[in-house]
Amino acid sequence: MRRPRSSLVHKPRELERAVEFVALRVRPRGGIFVLVDGDDDCPAKLGPSLQERAKPNAMGLPVSVILPVREFECWLLAAAQSLRGKRGLPADLEAPTQPEQVRGAKEWLNERMSGHSYSETIDQAKLAAVFDLGQARAVRSFDKCYRAVQALFDHYRD
């Protein structure tokens, strides 16, 4: 379920309503995973704040709130080598030295694409479906995401 970051972060009760909506659909055996771009906020501060707001509305289901530093596309940049030749990206694509510090990761991808412009609604999902998780785990925020998803699986495996 997609919601604008601004509404989840700033609009009263919007995050809570979204979590309740998802909880009603996935219970009794499910979990809730909220992914919100960090933008210029500190993920270590905003993440726990959003987690605190979300948890009471999860109807007892496990819930994780994860914030990529800056934006989701920073994770794609971290795994750039695995995206070589995909969606118009060059065959010799190299990841930037510090992917999470790139301001404008969408623009970074767009500048390197040929044949079309980067589209968050189209390219993000297609690139996320093929990027190398191991490469992306090199950045702290994606590693945290990976561990949160693993914890959800482990919760129901036991």
pLDDT of residue 155: 84
The answer to the question of residue 155 being in a domain is no
Which residue range is the domain that position 16 belongs to? 5-67
Percentage of residues of the chain with pLDDT beyond 90: 91
| Same-domain check for residues 89 and 59 | no
- The model carries a pTM of 0.90
**Can you say whether the dihedral through the CA atoms of 65, 71, 76, 79 is positive or negative?**
negative
Which of these three, 46, 67, 88, is where a domain ends? 67
Structure tokens at 50: 């959003």
What's the half-sphere exposure (Cβ side, CA atoms, 13 Å) at 41? 19
Whose tokens are 């991808």? That residue is 109
The answer to the question of residue 141 being in a domain is no
| Same-domain check for residues 37 and 77 | no
Helices 120-128, 105-112: axis angle to 10 degrees equals 80
At 150, phi and psi to the nearest 5? -60, -40
| Same-domain check for residues 46 and 13 | yes
Count of structural domains within the chain: 2
Mean pLDDT for 48-54 is 96
| Same-domain check for residues 82 and 31 | no
Mean pLDDT for 89-112 is 96
